[in-house]
């Protein structure tokens, strides 16, 4: 029998000294620079441009990019820590960093040619936000039902179609965009393209007015005879489905980290408020009912952290992690919804008011069960792998 202790990494919440320093630096930055802007950005539904510039300066937009391309040469786990800490103060900041790092940069690191890496990775580390354009109006959970068409004409592909629900749409300069070169081939016709914002025929359309993560831009993309050079195919023609599946598996760990951060942020406010608010001559924290709620919330958060961290460590170790990623996203999104809802109840009437912070956490939590694979899709993945014995 093989030694299971060497086959799988321990599901650690403990961090190395280097990881602790990295995390603490981001936590301090989030407290000092992001938290003061979070409420205003939410109300205006606009992400502060100066804050994005600071993200680049701090190295948050090139965590895994090799030093040769201007990045930090960090681990996937480092990116997960960054997403969690940012989301603790603002989920919109968390998802901007998440999509850029866990989807866009990870896809380029794995699938781009050397020329594409030399051209794009330094820009993504320095000043260019990335976006990932897969979804369409009729293509959500059934991601490969997309209708955007790419036709080869000479040395260019000509793309026509519309993308929907694209995170970072307003801020991005580079879009990994999926289209089919052959509708009759089904998923085997899907191809990934690297499209720059100023390509002729490419337009960023309507920005969605959302319930939560309001500062995060979620936009429609319009492609009308958009010409894309053949050299901008990411990976191989017809292999876009593989890029999409494998990248989203990694991205789900990022969303798990986002939801973990959201739950932590709400719990911290609720715990502090329970120790300050008095009723019947006692603080709320002296009532056993409130104590049990706070304790259950803390337990759920710790369990979510174990799942998310473990999946990220497995990814870094090169161990199959698809089931663990699905579990981490599924559970952490459930925890975020429960914890943020309870936080509002602990605040009572104040929690229902926009003058207090917990209602924003609750609004931001809802998206966790929806994007980058709904909860039902995560359950389907977990069940499939469980029944297969893998």
Q: So which residues are the catalytic ones? A: 372
- CA separation for the pair 286, 289 (Å, rounded): 9
**Does residue 136 sit in helix, strand or coil?**
strand
DSSP structure class, residue 139: B
Query: What element of type H or E holds 233?
Result: strand 233-234
- CA separation for the pair 78, 60 (Å, rounded): 10
Instruction: Say how many C-beta atoms besides its own lie within 10 A of residue 109's C-beta.
Output: 16
- CA separation for the pair 95, 292 (Å, rounded): 31
Q: Which two tokens stand for residue 360?
A: 């924003």
- CA separation for the pair 26, 86 (Å, rounded): 7
Residues in the chain: 390
- CA separation for the pair 246, 192 (Å, rounded): 13
Work out the burial of residue 382: count CB atoms within 10 Å of its CB; fewer than 13 is exposed, 13-18 middle, 19 or more buried.
Answer: middle
- CA separation for the pair 74, 103 (Å, rounded): 15
User: Which is it for strands 282-283 and 190-196: parallel, antiparallel or unpaired?
Assistant: unpaired
User: Which is it for strands 172-180 and 129-133: parallel, antiparallel or unpaired?
Assistant: parallel
Contact between 54 and 97 (Cβ < 8 Å)? no
Contact between 165 and 134 (Cβ < 8 Å)? no
Q: Which one, of 30, 171, 39, lies nearest residue 87 by Cα?
A: 30
- Percent helix, strand, coil in the chain, to 5, is 60, 15, 25
Contact between 64 and 79 (Cβ < 8 Å)? yes
């Amino acid at each position: 029998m093989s030694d299971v202790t060497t086959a799988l990494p321990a599901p650690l919440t403990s961090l190395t000294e280097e990881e602790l320093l990295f995390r603490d630096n981001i936590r301090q930055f989030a407290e000092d620079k992001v938290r003061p802007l979070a409420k205003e950005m939410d109300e205006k539904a606009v992400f502060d441009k100066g804050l994005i510039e600071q993200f680049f300066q701090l190295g948050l937009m090139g965590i895994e990019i090799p030093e040769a391309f201007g990045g930090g040469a960090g681990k996937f786990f480092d990116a997960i820590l960054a997403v969690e800490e940012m989301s603790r103060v603002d989920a919109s900041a968390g998802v901007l960093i998440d999509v850029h790092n866990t989807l866009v940069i990870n896809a380029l690191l794995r699938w781009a040619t050397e020329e594409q890496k030399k051209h794009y990775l330094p820009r993504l580390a320095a000043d260019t936000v990335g976006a990932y354009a897969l979804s369409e109006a009729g293509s959500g959970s059934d991601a490969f039902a997309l209708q955007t068409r790419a036709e080869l004409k000479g040395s260019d592909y000509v793309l026509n179609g519309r993308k929907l629900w694209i995170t970072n749409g307003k801020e991005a300069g580079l879009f990994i965009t999926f289209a089919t070169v052959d509708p009759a081939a089904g998923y085997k016709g899907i191809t990934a393209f690297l499209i720059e914002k100023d390509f002729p025929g490419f337009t960023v359309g309507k920005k969605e007015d959302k319930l939560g993560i309001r500062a995060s831009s979620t936009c429609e993309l319009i492609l009308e005879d958009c010409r894309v050079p053949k050299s901008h195919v990411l990976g191989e023609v017809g292999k876009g489905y593989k890029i999409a599946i494998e990248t989203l598996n990694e991205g789900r760990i990022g969303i798990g980290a986002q939801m973990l951060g959201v739950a932590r942020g709400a719990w911290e406010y609720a715990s502090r408020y329970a120790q300050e608010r008095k009723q019947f001559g006692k603080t709320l924290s002296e009532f056993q009912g409130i104590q049990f709620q706070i304790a259950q919330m803390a337990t759920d958060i710790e369990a979510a952290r174990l799942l998310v961290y473990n999946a990220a460590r497995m990814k870094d170790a090169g161990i199959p992690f698809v089931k663990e990623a699905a579990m981490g996203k599924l559970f952490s999104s459930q925890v975020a919804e429960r914890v943020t809802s309870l936080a509002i109840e602990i605040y009572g009437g104040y929690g229902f008011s926009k003058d207090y912070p917990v209602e924003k956490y609750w609004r931001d939590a809802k998206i966790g069960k929806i994007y980058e694979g709904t909860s039902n899709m995560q359950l389907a993945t977990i069940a499939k792998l469980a029944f297969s014995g893998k």
